[in-house]
């Protein structure tokens, strides 16, 4: 469990986007800790509707809001950037405005796609941003709104390559392909950090309890490629990892729209007195039996 989960002042949590992968795991972690939490799914609460958000906040009176609500359909954002910005940019601004009015701490989930991927060493939390796709631009707009409106009570948590028991993710895709294909082509020139949603949920709780603000990178330690990630999944399935074939980004659909290298640095956690998330391979080994129990 992440550092800082033991002694604390209890918060009242509002989790937006609580029907998604991270939202569901965050609510489960909070409930296990006996923390009061209101889980608001997309159907329960539209974060772009300021009147609805204000009504929920007035009624529930949270001390901390974690915004897991987002437009995550990467491909569709390229042709529907205005609609994606409505949720990822304007929605974040609405939440930040309300939190500022009521002195509520806001944790806003963002993405590694705010970077261009041109680096070859981990991006620091303070590194210059420069998204190369519509999804990244809309998420960066949300970051900027939160940091502008909540300099003391706003926290950005950038995550990447997230997987868990709920929703669409790379592990689920690889398990399905292992069952239906003799060989599977996976890109080997994109680098990142596979991150278990439970690890990230625990890290968010520690962050809020610690009262930290600013930008944090909520990804596992270490780094790998999609190709090597897929090979480890096959090994854990008891399948031959040699069935995974490496390909270049320019050989797959939309490969050029995805940043090649988005490994994120974790200095902010240490500076805040918190421990970064463990190595991605250790998390995958622990989580895989739990994930394998699900209906893929």
Pairing of strands 184-187, 64-67: unpaired
Name the strands in the sheet holding 214-217, side by side, starting at the edge strand that comes first in the sequence: 37-40, 13-16, 64-67, 105-111, 154-159, 214-217
Q: How far is Cα 155 from Cα 152, in angstroms, rounded to an integer?
A: 8
Q: Which of 60, 113, 123, 135 is an active site residue?
A: 135
User: In this structure, how many other beta carbons lie within 10 angstroms of the beta carbon of residue 294?
Assistant: 12
Q: Under a CB-based contact definition with an 8 Å cutoff, are residues 5 and 205 in contact?
A: yes
Strands 64-67 and 214-217: unpaired
Nearest-angstrom CA–CA distance, 104 and 249: 42
What is the Cα 238 distance to its own chain's centre?
28
135 is catalytic: yes
CA atoms of 287 and 283, how far apart (whole Å): 6
Question: How would you class 98 by CB atoms within 10 Å of its CB: exposed for 0-12, middle for 13-18, buried for 19 or more?
Answer: buried
Cβ atoms of 159 and 200 within 8 Å: the answer is yes
Residues 6 or more apart in contact with residue 202 via CB below 8 angstroms: 1, 2, 5, 29
Active site residues: 135
């Amino acid at each position: 469990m992440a550092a800082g989960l033991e002694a604390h002042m209890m918060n009242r949590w509002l989790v937006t986007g609580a029907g998604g992968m991270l939202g569901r795991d965050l609510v489960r972690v909070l409930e296990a800790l006996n923390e009061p939490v209101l889980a608001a799914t997309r159907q329960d609460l539209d974060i772009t509707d300021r009147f609805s958000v204000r009504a929920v906040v007035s009624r529930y009176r949270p001390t901390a809001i974690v915004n897991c609500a987002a437009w995550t359909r990467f491909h569709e954002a390229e042709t529907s950037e205005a609609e994606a910005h409505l949720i990822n940019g304007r929605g974040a601004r609405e939440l930040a405005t309300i939190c500022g009015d009521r002195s509520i701490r806001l944790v806003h989930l963002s993405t590694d796609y705010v970077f261009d991927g041109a680096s070859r060493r981990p991006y620091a939390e303070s590194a210059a941003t420069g998204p190369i796709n519509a999804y990244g631009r809309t998420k960066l707009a949300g970051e900027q709104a939160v940091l502008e409106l909540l300099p003391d009570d706003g926290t950005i948590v950038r995550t990447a390559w997230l997987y868990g028991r709920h929703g669409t993710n790379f592990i689920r895709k690889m398990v399905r392909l292992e069952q239906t294909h003799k060989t599977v082509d996976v890109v080997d020139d994109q680098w990142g950090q596979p991150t278990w949603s439970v690890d990230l949920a625990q890290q968010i709780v520690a962050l809020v309890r610690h009262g930290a603000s600013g930008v944090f990178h909520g990804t596992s330690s270490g780094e790998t490629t999609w190709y090597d990630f897929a090979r480890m999944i096959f090994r854990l399935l008891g399948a031959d990892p040699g069935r995974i074939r490496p390909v270049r980004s320019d050989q797959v659909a939309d490969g050029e729209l995805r940043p090649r290298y988005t490994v994120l640095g974790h200095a902010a956690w240490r500076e805040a007195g918190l421990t970064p998330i463990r190595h991605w391979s250790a998390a995958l080994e622990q989580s895989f039996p739990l994930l394998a129990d699900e209906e893929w």
